[in-house]
Amino acid sequence: MSKSRELVALVAAVVIGGASFAAAQSGKPAKEPPAKTAREAAKPASPAAPAAASAPTKVPYGIGREAKPDEIAGWDIDVRPDGQGLPPGKGTARKGEDLFVAQCAACHGEFGESAGRWPVLAGGAGSLASHDPVKTIGSYWPYASTVIDYVRRAMPFGNAQSLSGDELYSIVAYVLYLNDVITDQDQELSDKNFPTVKLSNEANFFDDDREVSEKAFWKKDPCMSNCVAGAPKVLGRARAIDVTPEDGKGPRVE
Amino acid sequence: MLNKDNNRTVVSRRSLLGKGLALGAVAAGGGAPKAAEAGNPANLPPNVPEWSKTLGDGVAVRAYGKPSKHEAHVIRRDVEWLTASRESSVSFTPLHELDGIITPNGLCFERHHSGIAELDPHDYRLMIHGLVDKPLMFTLEDLERLPRVNRIYFAECAANSGMEWRGAQMNACQFTHGMIHNVMYTGVPLKVLLEEAGVKTNAKWLLLEGADSAAMTRSLPLQKALDDCLIAFRMNGERLRPENGYPVRICVPGWEANMWVKWLRRIEVGDQPWHHREETSKYTDLLENGKARRFTYVMDAKSVITNPSPQAPLKHRKGITIVSGIAWSGRGKIARVDVTLDGGRNWRTARLDGPVLDRSMARFYVEFDWDGQELFLQSRAMDETGYVQPTKDELRKVRGVNSVYHNNGIQTWRVSPEGEVENVEIA
């Protein structure tokens, strides 16, 4: 891989962020425990709330109306690793394959290998500490719940929230099968057993530790004169990579 | 959704160049910058130009004003090869064309994951539910009846400068540093809304969710929500622009802009983080050993010289020269900015001018007499916590080159004796 291709590949991975893969939902179960409606009228700020904010806080103002359970159920689509929020449904990788091919493969490839610049969904095992890490669901993602949540809310790209609960579980099962997370095409995943699915990279994430591991950046007094010996030597030039759009190339301005 | 031409329209290089603007023949890799063109002699003394003799447009002909037609090159730009689609992509703020600290609304960088959602403000709803005493639904009018505050904050994409981890790649300040904007937001402290709903004692996290078809979500620690987050409906005085979340987005001061969820439709209160796609697959920082940092929220102190820069060469050759740039920190106010002309051998402290605010851009200047020799320009920001902006090599030493996000390393511009400027890495 040439130097410039290598950099380009990195950046594409960086910024794309957006388009991963396929699915969503239509069955929208209420996962919320029944809303507790009785709020004592004169209750002061929640005890959980430490002081802080910057605006006057005469609480409450009585603004906003109560959200109804069916309204919440319609919009509340998030899923957590512990299974909270899982929509009802079930499916197998075998059933998911056809759905994946029909709804997802145009961008993500039939085996999650991706087409063009679209995100790679499978592969990359063991590559994270290498020069060219391939971060996929199997190699990188910590939780299977993230797959079902994301597919449900945002996929297929351009047709979000269109998949039924059964389609969702089937497609996710197929994607997990592509990643060797499940190995039996007929293993049924459902809202009952989904939280038992574990991904292998979960333990490799840790909370931001910059204030400890990068403590040296909080320096007393940075050097002001004669900080480096010798004249500056150019080690790398963006111009040599030559991937910057030319001036004048940009969106049309009327 | 997959447009064959990827929805990209491109104007010819010629149509923007050659308008007497001498605009960056350089960024494209061309020769030495030319001095500003002499202009049209018919408009110069002793002649009297047309605009001194005839009537111009009357009032309200330009009912919503635009910049001069001579500024048509001052635009957001994107990098075609960067993303698979325009709808999940980024455009960059033309920092080299701006001064002061406020980004004009029409130039604020964009980052969408499913394109620009076009919401009708009458149909806008914000729902708060989960671990609350009373789940609530707010209209835009409701939000505007609550006490509001005005704050100037920067919003910087976590991936800003991400293309530069492995070396100098983008030969333009707009593309190396342009995923940032700095505007005055008007909004209601999130704390006020949470108090309306009554947060339960076991609540620790919020889920923020957008109304676009990416339904972007991030988990936000409750403590931050109660501290300084704003539910914002105005930027620089006017309503948010659609591309910036019209009618409502959240401001999460000092923290990576991915968390500034646009078109905010829902806040769920919970007792643990959700570990959604944008905080697991994305916005986690892979280190050299294969482990990854998560929840790297704060944007550390950073600066860049915007002028001169590859798109803004020095046209005057030697003599009095102004170096201008911006600095910011997610941890507080900028305390000081140092600038070097010789690649870090010697530094001088720059002049901060204009407001220096908490977690906002600050503007700095250095005026000097250029002898016409090659320069290696760098800037180094310090914030009020004592954090000193590191070099890229110092960052790589701790993180390797695969962490994608949070590159706040010191930028070097090489200025040639001809005044041409390029993005380089030096030893």
Output B31 or B140, whichever has higher pLDDT: B140
Does B169 sit within 8 Å of A11, measured CB to CB?
yes
Is residue B349 scored above 90 in pLDDT? Answer: yes
Cα gap B190→B168, rounded to integer Å: 40
Which residue, among B123, B111, B175, B139, has the nearest Cα to B411 in the 3D structure? B175
Q: Please tell me which of the candidates A11, A117, A205 has its beta carbon nearest to residue B163.
A: A11
Size of interface A-B (CB pairs under 8 A): 428
Per residue, what are the HEC states of chain B? CCCCCCCCCCCCHHHHCCCCCCCCCCCCCCCCCCCCCCCCHHHCCCCCCHHHCCCCCCCCCCCCCCCCHHHCCCCCECCHHHCCCCCCEEEECCHHHCCCCCCCHHHCCEEECCCCCCCCHHHCCEEEEECECCCEEECHHHHHCCCCEEEEEEEECCCCCHHHCCCCCCCCHHHHHCCEEEEEEEEEEHHHHHHHHCECCCCCEEEEEECCCCCCEEEEEHHHHHHCCEEEEEECCEECCHHHCCCCEEECCCECHHHCCCCEEEEEEECCCCCCHHHCCCCCEECCCCCEEECCCECCCEEEEEECECCECCCCCCEEEEEEEEEECCCCCEEEEEEECECCCCCEECEEECCCCCCCCEEEEEEEEECCCCEEEEEEEEECCCCECCCHHHHHHHHCCCCCCCCCCCCEEEECCCCCEEEEEEC
Peptide bond into A232 cis (omega under 30): no
Amino acid making up residue A127:
S
B88 to chain A: closest CA residue: A18
Q: Do B252 and B229 contact (CB within 8 A), yes or no?
A: yes
Task: Give me the pLDDT at residue A246, please.
Answer: 81
Does B195 sit within 8 Å of A59, measured CB to CB?
yes
Which of B157, B161, B195 to substitute to test the interface with A, most A CBs within 10 Å? B195
Q: Is A72 helix (H, G, I), strand (E, B) or coil?
A: helix
Cα gap B404→B401, rounded to integer Å: 7
Task: Give me the pLDDT at residue B317, please.
Answer: 85
Chain B residues within an 8 Å CB radius of A52 = 191, 226-228
Cα gap B420→B152, rounded to integer Å: 34
Averaged pLDDT for residues B250-267: 98
Cα gap A3→B168, rounded to integer Å: 11
List the beta bridge partners of residue B370.
Answer: B319
B91: its two tokens: 């455009």
CA distance A219 to chain B (A): 6
CA distance B74 to chain A (A): 10
CA distance A99 to chain B (A): 18
Which ipTM score applies to this complex?
0.89
Q: Please tell me which of the candidates A117, A239, A249 has its beta carbon nearest to residue B83.
A: A117
Cα gap A187→B412, rounded to integer Å: 55
Q: Please tell me which of the candidates A118, A205, A248 has its beta carbon nearest to residue B84.
A: A118
CA distance B388 to chain A (A): 6
CA distance B245 to chain A (A): 16
Chain A residues within an 8 Å CB radius of B130 = 32
Which range among A157-161, B38-42, B309-313, B408-412 shows the weakest confidence by mean pLDDT?
B38-42
Does B268 sit within 8 Å of A35, measured CB to CB?
no
Task: Give me the pLDDT at residue A219, please.
Answer: 86
Task: Give me the pLDDT at residue A110, please.
Answer: 94
| pLDDT band (50, 70, 90) for residue A59 | low
Does A234 sit within 8 Å of B426, measured CB to CB?
yes
Does A66 sit within 8 Å of B136, measured CB to CB?
yes
- Between CA B274 and CA B280, with CA B275 as vertex, the angle to 5 degrees is 165
CA distance B192 to chain A (A): 7
Which range among A32-41, A200-209, B112-121 shows the weakest confidence by mean pLDDT?
A32-41
Does B82 sit within 8 Å of A16, measured CB to CB?
yes
Task: Give me the pLDDT at residue A220, please.
Answer: 80
Which of A7, A40, A46 to substitute to test the interface with B, most B CBs within 10 Å? A46
Task: Give me the pLDDT at residue A183, please.
Answer: 97
A204 to chain B: closest CA residue: B291
Is residue B190 scored above 50 in pLDDT? Answer: yes
Chain B residues within an 8 Å CB radius of A32 = 129-130
Q: Do B198 and A42 contact (CB within 8 A), yes or no?
A: no
Which of A1, A6, A10, A15 to substitute to test the interface with B, most B CBs within 10 Å? A15
Is residue B64 scored above 80 in pLDDT? Answer: yes
Q: A80-204 in CATH: which number? A: 1.10.760.10
Task: Give me the pLDDT at residue B187, please.
Answer: 98
Peptide bond into B67 cis (omega under 30): no
List the beta bridge partners of residue B355.
Answer: none
Does B114 sit within 8 Å of A160, measured CB to CB?
yes
Does A18 sit within 8 Å of B214, measured CB to CB?
yes
Task: Give me the pLDDT at residue B37, please.
Answer: 61
Task: Give me the pLDDT at residue B374, please.
Answer: 98
Which range among A57-66, B184-193, B251-260, B327-336 shows the weakest confidence by mean pLDDT?
A57-66
Percent of chain A predicted with pLDDT > 90: 71
- The pLDDT tens digits of the residues spanning B264-284 come to 999 999 999 999 999 999 999
Does A75 sit within 8 Å of B127, measured CB to CB?
yes
- The pLDDT tens digits of the residues spanning A96-139 come to 999 999 999 999 999 999 998 899 999 999 999 999 999 999 99
Count CA within 13 A, CB hemisphere, residue A16.
Answer: 21
Which residue, among B427, B413, B411, has the nearest Cα to B375 in the 3D structure? B413
Task: Give me the pLDDT at residue A58, please.
Answer: 55
Which residue, among B66, B125, B24, B12, has the nearest Cα to B419 in the 3D structure? B24
Domains assigned to chain B: 80-293 (3.90.420.10), 302-424 (2.60.40.650)
Output A220 or B402, whichever has higher pLDDT: B402
Which residue, among A239, A10, A231, A7, has the nearest Cα to B424 in the 3D structure? A239
Which residue, among B237, B153, B249, has the nearest Cα to B210 in the 3D structure? B249
| pLDDT band (50, 70, 90) for residue B28 | very low
pTM above 0.90, yes or no: no
CA distance A95 to chain B (A): 24
Chain B residues within an 8 Å CB radius of A141 = 280-281
Cα gap A44→B195, rounded to integer Å: 8
A49 to chain B: closest CA residue: B226
A75 to chain B: closest CA residue: B266
Does B114 sit within 8 Å of A157, measured CB to CB?
yes
Chain A residues within an 8 Å CB radius of B83 = 12, 15-16, 18, 117
Task: Give me the pLDDT at residue B38, please.
Answer: 74
Crossing angle of the two packed helices A165-178 and A93-103, in degrees rounded to 10: 100
Chain A residues within an 8 Å CB radius of B174 = none
Cα gap B316→B418, rounded to integer Å: 9
- The pLDDT tens digits of the residues spanning B200-237 come to 999 999 999 999 999 999 999 999 999 999 999 999 99
Does A71 sit within 8 Å of B380, measured CB to CB?
no
Task: Give me the pLDDT at residue B36, please.
Answer: 53
Cα gap B31→B24, rounded to integer Å: 10
Does B195 sit within 8 Å of A57, measured CB to CB?
yes
CA distance B195 to chain A (A): 6
Q: Is A109 helix (H, G, I), strand (E, B) or coil?
A: coil
Averaged pLDDT for residues A174-201: 98
**Kind of pairing between the strands at B110-112 and A189-190:** unpaired
Identify the burial level of B40 via C-beta atoms within 10 angstroms of its C-beta, where 0-12 means exposed, 13-18 middle and 19 or more buried.
exposed
Sign of the CA dihedral with B400 first, then B405, B410, and B411 last = positive
What stretch of H or E contains A245?
none
- The pLDDT tens digits of the residues spanning A222-251 come to 999 999 999 999 999 999 999 999 865 544
Averaged pLDDT for residues A197-206: 98
B153-190 as b/e: b if 16+ CB within 10 A: bbbbbbbbbbbbbbbbbbbbbbbbbbbbbbbbbbbbbb
Give chain B's mean pLDDT.
92
Q: Report the side by side order of strands in the sheet with B285-286.
A: A205-207, B292-294, B285-286
Which range among A3-12, B222-231, B338-347, B356-365 shows the weakest confidence by mean pLDDT?
A3-12
